[in-house]
Amino acid sequence: MTFAHRTLVNHGVHQDAPVQPSLVIAYLCGNDSMGAHPSGLGPHVPLPEYIENLKKILDHLKSLSETTRVIILTCPPVNEELYRRFSRDHLDVLAEIIRTNEDLRKYSEACVQVCKEMDVKVIDLFTAIQEREDWVTSCLE
């Protein structure tokens, strides 16, 4: 599948395969939800495009067979300070890519909404992890 200059590679999830998976678990928004890099490089996908891509991916997965179950995972929250340090120290040219919980929340909420509309099971990691009062230090370090 191709989505606006991006390619989704299907590894073992083809409609014409002799055996279809009984369960597909997919995590779809971590890189897409990153802030746009000033150079235009990087993995950022604008939210409306992410929503349309997600719908196409879910349509494809649901079409594999009547018995294939699909579970989608939302983005988890991020320890923003730890991520900024990691980016600055290890990502060189893309060090300016920003990952914020505000952006992650928007993409996670969109993911949950699309999954509800399309009757697909979703695990909201973004919300679930933050149920712990100490989630930043206990879950993300």
Cα–Cα distance, 75 to 108 (Å, whole number): 6
Q: Which segment of 18-22, 24-28, 38-42, 43-47 scores lowest on mean pLDDT?
A: 38-42
Q: Which CATH superfamily, name and number, covers 23-139? A: SGNH hydrolase (3.40.50.1110)
Closest CA to 29 of 114, 118, 134: 114
Which pLDDT tens digit goes with each residue over 33-59? 877 766 766 777 889 999 999 999 999
Maximum mean pLDDT: which of 4-18, 28-42, 50-64, 107-121:
107-121
What mean pLDDT do residues 30-35 have? 77
**Predicted model pTM:** 0.80
Mean pLDDT of the chain: 82
